[in-house]
């Protein structure tokens, strides 16, 4: 089973992904971390980004890319953002596709988190979880956890596009509450999937039944 976890910035997708990993024994794929690995010096993406931004985005001591500086330039330049998307997204989604193919071939459950879903990606997943939270809470998280200025945080919230894929979601997790409430909501979701599986014993449902909370049966 492959589950997409998507939603806007600051909604708490990482927490939901951690719950799926820790409570339901799913393997996880964080597309942001995957992208970071592709930005390493010597990679095709690294060379392409240097060509777009110039060597001033390099950290002088390590040669690593200053992603914060890149993000600032992109938010003020839509054409540059489009160029970066054309360079980075095919490589990232190619790597994600390999992870999904491996999960299906090896028959393990995988959750993939992203703030920038594509229709093709969402359609290739078995189930889709949209993570939502109040806007004021998301703004607070961006200011507290990521060190953005208020202007930067507001700009990122304004620019996001995840909600236009909301119609693909099988469930919307409201992540403005406690972690335990979120765990319970996800647990109820898996119970629903199990019931649906039992109603479709002809194999049309893709839920494998392999995800259980760690405390079940212990």
Per-residue pLDDT at 201: 62
Q: What would the pLDDT profile of 125-134 be if each residue is shown by its tens digit?
A: 999 999 999 9
CA atoms within 13 A on the CB side of 56: 6
Q: What percent of the chain has pLDDT over 90?
A: 44
Does 50 score more than 50 pLDDT?
A: yes
Instruction: Determine the Cα–Cα distance for residues 54 and 56; give it in Å rounded to an integer.
Output: 5
Per-residue pLDDT at 27: 96
Predicted TM-score (pTM) of this structure: 0.81
Q: Could you tell me the domains of the chain?
A: 1-26+109-218 (3.40.50.300), 37-107 (no CATH)
What is the rounded average pLDDT of the residues 55-80? 85
Per-residue pLDDT at 125: 95
Q: Is residue 120 a contact partner of residue 165, using CB atoms and an 8 Å limit?
A: no
CA atoms within 13 A on the CB side of 147: 1
Per-residue pLDDT at 46: 92
Q: What would the pLDDT profile of 19-46 be if each residue is shown by its tens digit?
A: 999 999 999 999 988 888 888 888 999 9
Q: Is residue 123 a contact partner of residue 27, using CB atoms and an 8 Å limit?
A: no
Closest CA to 117 of 70, 76, 154, 160: 160
Q: Given pLDDT bands bounded at 50, 70 and 90, which one contains residue 217?
A: very low
Instruction: Determine the Cα–Cα distance for residues 124 and 126; give it in Å rounded to an integer.
Output: 7
Closest CA to 177 of 6, 5, 7, 11: 11
Query: Rounded to the nearest 5 degrees, what angle is found at the Cα of 171, between the Cα atoms of 205 and 142?
Result: 140
Per-residue pLDDT at 202: 55
Q: Is residue 126 a contact partner of residue 2, using CB atoms and an 8 Å limit?
A: yes
Q: What would the pLDDT profile of 141-195 be if each residue is shown by its tens digit?
A: 989 888 788 888 887 787 777 788 889 999 999 999 889 999 999 999 999 888 8
């Amino acid at each position: 089973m492959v589950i997409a976890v998507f939603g806007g910035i600051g909604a708490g997708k990482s927490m939901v992904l951690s719950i799926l990993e820790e409570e339901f024994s799913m393997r996880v794929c964080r597309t942001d971390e995957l992208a970071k690995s592709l930005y390493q010096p010597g990679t095709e993406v690294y060379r392409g980004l240097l060509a777009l931004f110039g060597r001033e985005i390099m950290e002088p001591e390590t040669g690593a890319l200053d992603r914060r500086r890149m993000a600032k330039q992109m938010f003020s330049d839509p054409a540059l953002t489009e160029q970066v998307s054309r360079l980075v997204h095919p490589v990232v989604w190619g790597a994600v596709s390999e992870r999904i193919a491996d999960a299906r071939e090896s028959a393990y459950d995988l959750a993939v988190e992203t703030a920038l879903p594509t229709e093709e990606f969402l359609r290739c997943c078995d189930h889709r979880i949209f993570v939502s939270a109040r806007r004021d809470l998301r703004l607070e998280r961006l200011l507290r956890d990521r060190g953005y200025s208020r202007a930067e945080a507001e700009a990122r919230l304004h620019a996001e596009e995840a909600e236009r894929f909301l119609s693909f979601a099988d469930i919307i997790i409201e992540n403005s509450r406690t972690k335990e409430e979120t765990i319970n909501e996800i647990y109820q979701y898996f119970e629903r999937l199990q019931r649906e599986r039992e109603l479709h014993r002809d194999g049309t449902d893709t839920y494998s039944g392999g995800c259980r909370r760690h405390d079940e049966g212990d």
